[in-house]
Amino acid sequence: MPVFLAGLVVAAAAMLGVQVLYMVVSGAPPAWLAFAALLVLVSVPTAGAAVAWLGTRVTRDASDRRAALVFAGLGLVAGALWGSLLAGGLARQLADAGASGGGALVAGAAAVVGVTAAVGAGLGRLAAREASDRPLLVVVLGVAVVLVALLGLVG
């Protein structure tokens, strides 16, 4: 299995794991996990692949640990930007409806999505080579993320 693909799948599974922790800590309803899985399925093959490509170019001669830190940093920045863009649209709609607190919503979403992306990118880079030697594990992780997202669509 290609290392790049294995890294993306590991990143997606790690990101979903972070969202499970977020759900437990924040008291978010179980439906949050399915929504997060849908966002992961949209984000990882697009923005995640771009972050992985850039990280690979930047860390060509770096050690695995250093490369994972660079990937995590890139994931943090990309995730924070993505989270603020997603929440920014929602905050504008809330403001139009007369609600306040849009700035906090944007900052919170940027932080949550940024940390989620950082963990996914770092772990994806760190485990990619090892995971590529275990295609069954990669398939199981990928299927798990897809199933959680499908449960959100169906259930």
pLDDT for res 100: 65
In angstroms, rounded to a whole number, what is the distance separating the alpha carbons of residues 155 and 143? Answer: 17
Count other C-beta atoms under 10 Å from residue 18's C-beta.
Answer: 20
pLDDT for res 59: 96
pLDDT for res 128: 96
Digit-by-digit pLDDT tens for the chain (155 residues) are 899 999 999 999 999 999 999 999 989 888 889 989 998 999 999 999 999 999 999 999 999 999 999 999 999 999 999 888 887 776 666 666 666 666 777 788 889 999 999 999 999 999 999 999 999 999 999 999 999 999 878 86
Question: Where are the alpha helices (H) located in the chain, listed in sequence order?
Answer: 3-26, 31-43, 49-58, 64-96, 102-132, 135-154
Domain ranges of the chain: 1-10+57-154
In angstroms, rounded to a whole number, what is the distance separating the alpha carbons of residues 68 and 29? Answer: 32
pLDDT for res 50: 95
pLDDT for res 154: 82
pLDDT for res 146: 95
In angstroms, rounded to a whole number, what is the distance separating the alpha carbons of residues 84 and 36? Answer: 15
The length of the chain is: 155
pLDDT for res 31: 86
pLDDT for res 98: 66
